[in-house]
A and B are shown apart, each in its own frame.
Chain A
Amino acid sequence: MGSRTSAGDTIELPPLQEMDEEVVDIFYKPTELLGESPLKGSSVFGFCTPKKKWGMLEKAESVKKKYGSPSTPKTPKSSLKQYPSTPTTPKRPSTDSKSGFTTPRSTRRLSGVVQEVRTPYSFRKKVKQRINKIVFKEDSSSSDEEDDDDDDDDSSYSLSEPEDESKENIDFQEECIKTPGKTPKRTPLKHSKILSGTPGKKPTRVLEKGGRGRKIKDVEMVGKADDYFTSNGDTGKVVTSDHTLSRLETPRLSPEALQSILSSVATSHQREREALLEEHMHMFPRWMTFLCEGFSVFLYGLGSKKQLISKFQQEYLAQFDHIVVNGFFPSLTLKNLLNNITEDIIDHTGSFHSIQEQLEFIQGFYTKSSAESLFIIIHNLDGPMLRGEKSQSAIAHLASIPHVHILASIDHINAPLIFDSSRMSHYNALWCDATTLAPYSEETSFENSLLVQQSGSLALSSLIHVFRSLTPNAKGIFLLLAQHQLDQKDNSNYIGLSFNDMYQRCRELFLVNSDLTLRAQLTEFRDHKLIRSKKGLDGIENLVIPLDSNILHDFINQQESDKLS
């Protein structure tokens, strides 16, 4: 016994350490999958942008200052890059910042925007924090550690924040979106991390590149989901300015105009984009190998991949049966896809009871060893009509058939959510980064963009159309309502004109003689969706025209000009 313990003494294991070891079990760490330190931050999911009221404009302004004409030399530099050169006590800079930074908005353009609000609170707060930080750093003489550890930074600010806030106006309380200390040093750190994310990887194949310096490296991503709760936890109201696009001469472009303008605009980085495309085209044989070996290929990355895939289709698939699916097409159905296979490719005449039956038929056809390969190209596997559970499992089922090969592109940031593990194994997919940075002109052409004229113009034209067919009295009733609504457009509590008021006014103008006739008119309007009635809190029916005030204004102007002419 004694000998055994003596042997134990020779190997020095302090009892404390032993206790620690008992607690900490050794895990198998996914070092190869996630890299050496699994929790290293990245800008992808990181919470690195403080939400400021005028953040966007500040950023734009800073760029303008950097790259713009020297037309604004007298501008005192708006504080962003300047810190007090001497460290002061934490109290003083905060008062300084309040009085000192009235944020001279130098640029004329922005002055229009910002005139209502002088220095935004969050902006001042940010500056304050920055100064605090400098002071804090001087005090705590451990600057290196701080750079590495963001949590330390945050905690130090959360300590200093409350006392500052208590001195602030109460007004600011409502917009207290928490700003974690955004140090200028943090971002470069991440930057370098991202760029040097793949140290041990060397391209196994050297391609000749058209003037490209180096091979594109893989991107790394590690996420922090907790930030969601940090940013959405306090449900303070969102503060944005009240500007609308109607401030512009042409608030919205028509789709045709947009297309013609865009086609005339030269895209930037044309040469680099082509080089990028060229590089991806070198991967074609590999994709083809993957496909033929029974894998599916999923292409991801920014930029429309339609051109790239079409090239692939032309070069490699001309000799095979293949179908091309535009997943972004808004009225695509699964039935379309399957019918194309059965009718056009297999030449099967006959109908199917269900999708399942059709799938089984296809499966039966293509599992035969004599069957010829079928390639399915899907632009946007995550398209609006293919996202659904049913279509995904059907396509996955197709992908699992031996002679059917799928090449698909995905674009939406949340697209991987539609693949669960069994579906993924059916797809048997390999991922390929195919970033082209090409504009998504075709893909977005089916989308309802806010900046493109659509619903507005449609509503106005249909309004005019209906209006023309009305009797003079009915026109009068409608104009009365429209005029009233326009008068009230600045009243945010406006809920509509009550029926009784309406009746009174119509009577006064000799538009109706009884409330029954008015009701009959209103019913007609309602049928044409020109008005909407809502019951108010007091149970009285209120009438509203469900149109934007701008459109309404245009409409009334037009009516008046018609009357004049």
Chain B
Amino acid sequence: MATVSVSKGVFSFKRSKANKRKEAASTTLDYWTECDEDTRDRSYKNYVKCWQMVTNILHDLQSSVHAKVFEDLVHFIKNARKNCSIKASENHIESMQGQNDIPTACLVTGVNMPDHEAIFESLVRLLADGVTPHIAQLHSRDCNTLRSAMHKMITQLMGQNDLVDLDDEVMIGPSIKRRQINMTVLTSWYKECTDVLTQEKNSSKLRGSTQKATILCNDETCKAVTSPRKAVASPRKAVASPHKAVASPRKAVASPRKTVASPRKAVASPHKAVTSQFKAVASPLKAMASPHKAMSSSLMAIASPHKTVGSSCKEMGSPSIAMKSFSNNGSPQKKIKLSKETSLPTEDDHQPLVVILEDVESFPMNVLHDLILICSEHHCDLPFVFVFGVATTPAAVHRSLSQNVSACIAMETFQAEPSTHFLNHVIEKVVMSDEVPFHIGGRPFKLLLDIFLYNDLSVKNFIKGLKLCMMQHFMNNSSAFLCCPAPERASVVRAMTPAQLDIIRKLPSFRSYVESCPPKEQAALLLEEKVCKATIRRLLNKLDCWYDCFCCLVKVVHALTSSLPQAPLGRQVREVLTTCLSHELVETEEFKEADKMLRLMAREELLPIVTNIIGILIEWVEKDENLLHLHDELSLMLGRLNSLDQLDQVNDNSITEEMQISIQSSDRFHLKEKLLEIAKKKYKKPNAYESLRSEVLQLLINAFEQLLKPVNKQPLHEVLFFDSSSMVKRHLVGMPRAALTTALSNPHHYLQCECCQLEDLSSVVPTLPDVSVAYKLHLECGRLINLYDWLQAFISVTEPEEDTSSKRTIDQKLQARFAQAVSELQFLGFVKPTRRKTDHVARLTWGGC
């Protein structure tokens, strides 16, 4: 078991086959140490059930929350190709340029990086279901070089097809496969794929393409030859049967373009025109550096060895030439149009190749450039569609791409829902749900929200926190065995052992409940098992109902106060929920503030709010009597609010009368008194709307007062609610540095010894651990520390009796201890050796830490 070595850093321990455990460790039950076995089992089962429920809910949410943007995306991907061709038929010149543009969806996902994985996962699932089987997902971490990026992309695109995958596995090992992978293979594979898929009747064409594919696959050494051969072959074919050339213009277009890759060589020796496709792929930038030159020269390369190439082919060969020859030649326009129309139906059957780049911003720039350029080169053969995951803004993509690259992509932006939106759903469906028996209390909920809002905005982390809370609840709380789904509760309560019953009886909230009961019942509750069990069941059910009602009212409070200026209770349901969970709402300052403002609210504002509240309540009326009552009363008042106009008029008149009376008074003192009196009267006599408004508010406040009590006032709340934040905070929010500095400056905090109690943090006592003494001394220094002085100071602290300054020799033990302390500080990162001065170290922290 020794893991100390000067020559090895990694040690592996394989489990010996002999002591095979009974089961693969999927259960953590063995490590739950609390309570007796039965209770533990039950708690664990409850935990597993609860977590399963939550994961199911989350899973559903995950796909539904982004449904809108996904729908748009899928639509875009489906139509990307079509749009391209439609555009092509509308405007031919543009179409020739437009062919290079790869349709690109820019999915703006927000800065909550941890959540993105899940988003893309569900996107891929969605695409694989309905749109295309050819999907490649690229991460920046896999794509440090173009080679690896291409390899990754092509294998993923091809790997989706089982047939090809199987063949590859059988025929050639992964190493050969790896070398072989390039765009040509992909092209031919894709052709084969679509040919098989569309069941094209043109058998000769099929044969041709498959033939080519086999050449490519088998004859890897002659790869250099295959591509030029192909380049030669297709124009010939085009000339031999012009009809065919028109029917498959893409092929004709493809061949000269492929030679674009190495144009100079092509000019020099046409036979080596495409020496190796891979090489060409590896350096597309070079080739693209002078695209015009490349285009024309490539055309020459084809034109010179094979004079038979027709002019029509030439025009289709490269768009730039086509444009140039547009004015000169009369016929090409018609021909292109013809070709487009004939090829359209087949294109519809082509499934797009979707390449998803999850984190575009962190891709190496040159890799991204080359990838896009290569794909755009082959775009006419392979219907690529890019999906860029962008965390910041689409502008970031434009900024990072150079002009010639961004010219190759036609970008459209899609905005994913912000993570707060997702969070709201999670809170609505998980935290405020009545399905999951486990509920989270005010303080931990606030903590999780704080972490969400102030650290990373990541729902994934929020859920992690929620899981931790749930684990802590079921692990540490012995009463959690009762926290099961409501339908099972009856049987669980019935099966409770006396020991378990005792656990429940010991709960503070249950004890206070018992104390509030009449004495007779008290005795029964404490002594009779049956009565107690029945009460527990009743209380738990009541607690469930209460929480439902509570959540409903939280929404009511939110509807009531969220539109107020400055929203004292917060604009989100979650903020209201936090407040309500831990405090009595009516007592809070925030609510009083809100109440003040509500009492000034105009009718036009109040009406929609009340309607809104009734809308919320109506979903819950069947479940709770209190809410039903509230709903009915509110509906009545709404009716009265709607028919208020005439009464208002009357009140106005009376006020003007009073005003007139007051003006008649001549004495200043009297006038003042009168005015005060009027003011009082006015206060006493609000108009009909005002009285109605205060009636409505009073009704609501009464309901809040009655039902929105904080969780810890409910009996048996310990069973269902988790309400301790410190445990969770300790694990979620690590404070490594604070722990280090505390241990160094006040070791007593950890050691709890008699000797090291410090009256003040900066003081030093000799009994402190060496590293702590050295640390405290080093705090007194500037950026450089003289080792000799440090050593002397260290000695005078640790051994005050000794006197060594005059001597040249010092105790070796002390020196060794000091050396150890300093190297520990160096290891921790407080100091580092420096060459600025002999025997000095540099301090790496500043201030008092």
Within 8 A of A (CB), among B491-533: none
**For the complex, what is the distance from the CA of A46 to the CA of B737, rounded to whole Å?**
13
Residues on A with C-beta less than 8 A from B817 are: 262, 265
**For the complex, what is the distance from the CA of A518 to the CA of B110, rounded to whole Å?**
69
**For the complex, what is the distance from the CA of A314 to the CA of B2, rounded to whole Å?**
11
Q: Say yes or no: B10 contacts A326, CB within 8 Å.
A: yes
CB A273 to nearest CB in B, in angstroms, measures: 7
Residues on B with C-beta less than 8 A from A556 are: none
Q: Say yes or no: B13 contacts A324, CB within 8 Å.
A: yes
**Per-residue interface assignment for chain B, residues 442 to 461, with 1 indicating a CB less than 8 Å from any chain A CB and 0 otherwise:** 01001101110111101011
A208 at the binding interface (Cβ < 8 Å) = no
**For the complex, what is the distance from the CA of A32 to the CA of B465, rounded to whole Å?**
14
**For the complex, what is the distance from the CA of A231 to the CA of B464, rounded to whole Å?**
40
Q: Say yes or no: B781 contacts A8, CB within 8 Å.
A: no
Q: Say yes or no: B450 contacts A443, CB within 8 Å.
A: no
CB B757 to nearest CB in A, in angstroms, measures: 11
Interchain CB contact (< 8 A) of B738 among A220, A228, A331, A451: A220
Residues on B with C-beta less than 8 A from A336 are: 9-10
Residues on B with C-beta less than 8 A from A416 are: 734, 736-737
CB B754 to nearest CB in A, in angstroms, measures: 9
**For the complex, what is the distance from the CA of A248 to the CA of B600, rounded to whole Å?**
83
B31 at the binding interface (Cβ < 8 Å) = yes
A564 at the binding interface (Cβ < 8 Å) = no
**Per-residue interface assignment for chain A, residues 50 to 71, with 1 indicating a CB less than 8 Å from any chain B CB and 0 otherwise:** 0110011111111110011100
Residues on B with C-beta less than 8 A from A176 are: none
A503 at the binding interface (Cβ < 8 Å) = no
CB B766 to nearest CB in A, in angstroms, measures: 5
Of B220-228, B252-260, B321-329, B808-816, which stretch is located at the interface?
Answer: B808-816
Residues on A with C-beta less than 8 A from B730 are: 218, 431-433
Q: Say yes or no: A257 contacts B15, CB within 8 Å.
A: no
**For the complex, what is the distance from the CA of A93 to the CA of B207, rounded to whole Å?**
105
A-B contact pairs, 28 of them (CB 8 A): A3-B686, A7-B600, A28-B570, A49-B847, A56-B780, A60-B797, A63-B797, A69-B800, A187-B760, A195-B749, A221-B738, A240-B789, A241-B786, A292-B25, A300-B739, A301-B740, A317-B13, A321-B13, A324-B12, A340-B12, A356-B141, A416-B736, A421-B113, A431-B732, A437-B751, A449-B822, A450-B822, A451-B815
Q: Say yes or no: B826 contacts A272, CB within 8 Å.
A: no
B167 at the binding interface (Cβ < 8 Å) = no
CB B831 to nearest CB in A, in angstroms, measures: 9
A353 at the binding interface (Cβ < 8 Å) = yes
Q: Say yes or no: B847 contacts A341, CB within 8 Å.
A: no
Of A144-152, A198-206, A480-488, A529-537, which stretch is located at the interface?
Answer: A198-206
CB B459 to nearest CB in A, in angstroms, measures: 11
CB A308 to nearest CB in B, in angstroms, measures: 13
Within 8 A of B (CB), among A322-360: 322-329, 331-332, 336-337, 340-341, 344-345, 353-354, 356
Q: Say yes or no: A204 contacts B736, CB within 8 Å.
A: no
Residues on A with C-beta less than 8 A from B83 are: none
Other CB < 8 Å A-B pairs besides A191-B746, A293-B28, 6 of them?
A44-B849, A110-B792, A112-B806, A269-B753, A295-B468, A422-B113
Q: Say yes or no: A261 contacts B816, CB within 8 Å.
A: yes
Q: Say yes or no: A240 contacts B804, CB within 8 Å.
A: no
Of A128-136, A163-171, A406-414, which stretch is located at the interface?
Answer: A406-414
Question: Given that A3-B651, A44-B741, A437-B750 are known contacts, is A413 also in contact with B828, CB under 8 Å in the complex?
Answer: yes
Residues on B with C-beta less than 8 A from A353 are: 175, 178
Residues on B with C-beta less than 8 A from A21 are: 566
**Per-residue interface assignment for chain B, residues 11 to 53, with 1 indicating a CB less than 8 Å from any chain A CB and 0 otherwise:** 1111100010100110110111100000000000000000000
Question: Given that A3-B682, A269-B751, A332-B9 are known contacts, is A447 also in contact with B826, CB under 8 Å in the complex?
Answer: yes
A108 at the binding interface (Cβ < 8 Å) = yes
CB B174 to nearest CB in A, in angstroms, measures: 9
Q: Which of B447, B729, B743, B762 has the most CB of A within 10 A?
A: B762
B596 at the binding interface (Cβ < 8 Å) = yes
Q: Say yes or no: A58 contacts B600, CB within 8 Å.
A: no
**Per-residue interface assignment for chain A, residues 17 to 37, with 1 indicating a CB less than 8 Å from any chain B CB and 0 otherwise:** 000010001101011111000
Residues on B with C-beta less than 8 A from A67 are: 765-766, 800
A96 at the binding interface (Cβ < 8 Å) = no
Residues on A with C-beta less than 8 A from B21 are: 319
B848 at the binding interface (Cβ < 8 Å) = yes
Within 8 A of B (CB), among A408-451: 410-416, 420-422, 424-425, 428-433, 435, 437, 439-444, 447-451
Residues on B with C-beta less than 8 A from A201 are: 726
Residues on B with C-beta less than 8 A from A320 are: 15, 25
Interchain CB contact (< 8 A) of A302 among B113, B599, B739: B739
Q: Which single residue of chain A is at the shortest CB-CB distance from B689?
A: A3
A117 at the binding interface (Cβ < 8 Å) = no
B833 at the binding interface (Cβ < 8 Å) = yes
Q: Say yes or no: B679 contacts A6, CB within 8 Å.
A: yes
Q: Say yes or no: B742 contacts A194, CB within 8 Å.
A: yes
Q: Say yes or no: A321 contacts B9, CB within 8 Å.
A: no
Residues on B with C-beta less than 8 A from A306 are: 3
Q: Say yes or no: A227 contacts B739, CB within 8 Å.
A: no
CB B817 to nearest CB in A, in angstroms, measures: 6
Q: Which single residue of chain B is at the shortest CB-CB distance from A385?
A: B9
Question: Given that A33-B447, A43-B745 are known contacts, is A337 also in contact with B10, CB under 8 Å in the complex?
Answer: yes
Within 8 A of B (CB), among A194-228: 194-195, 198, 200-202, 204-205, 212-214, 216-221, 224, 227-228
**For the complex, what is the distance from the CA of A261 to the CA of B731, rounded to whole Å?**
39
Q: Say yes or no: B458 contacts A240, CB within 8 Å.
A: no
Of B293-301, B540-548, B771-779, which stretch is located at the interface?
Answer: B771-779
Residues on B with C-beta less than 8 A from A520 are: none
Residues on A with C-beta less than 8 A from B93 are: none
Residues on A with C-beta less than 8 A from B782 are: 51, 177, 238-240
Q: Say yes or no: B776 contacts A59, CB within 8 Å.
A: yes
Of B63-71, B242-250, B430-438, B835-843, which stretch is located at the interface?
Answer: B835-843
Within 8 A of A (CB), among B159-207: 175, 178
B642 at the binding interface (Cβ < 8 Å) = no
CB A172 to nearest CB in B, in angstroms, measures: 15
CB B788 to nearest CB in A, in angstroms, measures: 4
CB B585 to nearest CB in A, in angstroms, measures: 16
Q: Say yes or no: B826 contacts A248, CB within 8 Å.
A: no
**For the complex, what is the distance from the CA of A55 to the CA of B846, rounded to whole Å?**
15
Q: Say yes or no: B803 contacts A109, CB within 8 Å.
A: yes
A113 at the binding interface (Cβ < 8 Å) = yes
Q: Say yes or no: B10 contacts A108, CB within 8 Å.
A: no
Question: Given that A332-B10, A440-B827 are known contacts, is A310 also in contact with B114, CB under 8 Å in the complex?
Answer: no
Residues on B with C-beta less than 8 A from A413 are: 736-737, 740-741, 828-830, 845
A393 at the binding interface (Cβ < 8 Å) = yes
B677 at the binding interface (Cβ < 8 Å) = no
CB A109 to nearest CB in B, in angstroms, measures: 3
CB A17 to nearest CB in B, in angstroms, measures: 12
B819 at the binding interface (Cβ < 8 Å) = yes
A286 at the binding interface (Cβ < 8 Å) = yes
CB B336 to nearest CB in A, in angstroms, measures: 44
A288 at the binding interface (Cβ < 8 Å) = yes
**For the complex, what is the distance from the CA of A30 to the CA of B810, rounded to whole Å?**
53
Q: Which single residue of chain B is at the shortest CB-CB distance from A322?
A: B13
Q: Say yes or no: B769 contacts A64, CB within 8 Å.
A: no
CB B703 to nearest CB in A, in angstroms, measures: 23
**For the complex, what is the distance from the CA of A217 to the CA of B761, rounded to whole Å?**
17
Interchain CB contact (< 8 A) of B19 among A319, A325, A340: A319
Question: Given that A32-B725, A63-B765 are known contacts, is A344 also in contact with B14, CB under 8 Å in the complex?
Answer: yes
Residues on B with C-beta less than 8 A from A548 are: 838
B120 at the binding interface (Cβ < 8 Å) = no
**For the complex, what is the distance from the CA of A325 to the CA of B743, rounded to whole Å?**
26
Q: Say yes or no: A244 contacts B838, CB within 8 Å.
A: yes
**For the complex, what is the distance from the CA of A356 to the CA of B443, rounded to whole Å?**
42
Q: Say yes or no: A2 contacts B652, CB within 8 Å.
A: yes
B801 at the binding interface (Cβ < 8 Å) = yes
Q: Say yes or no: A8 contacts B801, CB within 8 Å.
A: no
**For the complex, what is the distance from the CA of A240 to the CA of B315, rounded to whole Å?**
80
Question: Given that A191-B760, A194-B742, A240-B786 are known contacts, is A325 also in contact with B9, CB under 8 Å in the complex?
Answer: yes
